[in-house]
Amino acid sequence: PRNFRIVTNDFPQRISGPQPNLTGLADVRMSGSGAFSAEGLQVVKRSLPPEPVIVVDLRQESHLFVNGIAVSFRGENNAANLHLSHDEVITAELQEQESLSRRKSITFDHVSGKSAQVMEPVVITSVRTEREVVEDAGLQYFRLTVPDHFRAQNEEMDRFVEFVRTVPFGTHLHFHCRAGQGRTSMLMIARDIMANAKAVSLEDIVARQVLAGSQDLCSVEDKCEMSAKDMNARRRASLLQHFYDYAKDNDDEFQTSFSIWLQQNNRSVQ
């Protein structure tokens, strides 16, 4: 899949300038990528270390696998499920699965630069959710519903924190969104933050994740006129700064949720 990377101390690109602090990075077992087909998931699996793997699906938009082919229900700007709650997203996706399962064939819409070249109608033999595809591959699955181009909402960050608290030591997390950049970078940085905020600055955490292949979500240019895209970028940067402060302040093994910490400290993510 696109933008596949495994986080290690051996960066795929040359470091120019001072090397960021690498404390704790080798112990954060994780990787990231864009969306995959059922066959692509097997490629991911073979590329990962031989340890338990949890696939962390970050996509709010509904997506299924028709005959193993990845299918997305985009809507305009990939925002088909925008403003739906986590549970509402799951319900909508299951309804899409049921609807597709009743059809004999499907013709895929083509979005330039984002779709596979499947031009002819496809006779439907199976329609599976990502959870089913992942578990059929012998891996574990966890879902966060994060809208494309936006920051993760506080409720989803709470779910993420609670999830990470329960992950057994030695488990590898594979994060993915659609392209493997914005949302994947955001949650991979957040995972590094949870593990290492007390020993490593936010700047170094972001820098080392960028060297591993993630997107720099904290360097947001100041502009006189901010577009909607610029504002969303600023909100993601703000989220990561607040989340870093939360993790650095944590003294109860993350039993206090991110949302509660924001309230206790009169903070809000703008």
Segment 192-219, tens digit of pLDDT: 999 999 999 999 999 999 999 999 999 8
Kindly state whether residue 248 falls inside one of the protein's structural domains: yes
| Residue 177 maps to a domain | yes
Tally the domains of the chain: 1
Q: In this structure, what CATH number is given to the domain that contains residue 216?
A: 3.90.190.10
Q: Which residues contact 236 (CB under 8 A, 6 or more apart)?
A: 150, 151, 182, 186, 217
> Residue 188 falls within a domain, yes or no?
yes
pTM of this prediction exceeds 0.85: yes
Q: Count of CB atoms within 10 A of residue 102's CB?
A: 8
Domain with 110, as residue range(s), is 5-264
List the one residue out of 190, 182, 222, 191 whose CA is nearest residue 78: 182
In-domain check, residue 269: no
The encoded tokens of residue 132 equal 């089913």
pLDDT digits (tens, 9 = 90+) for 8-65: 888 876 667 788 999 999 999 999 999 999 999 999 999 999 999 999 999 999 999 9
Give the count of beta carbons closer than 10 Å to the beta carbon of residue 132. Answer: 16
User: 257 lies in a domain?
Assistant: yes
CA distances from 125 to 69, 101, 102, 104, 106 (A): 11, 8, 10, 8, 11
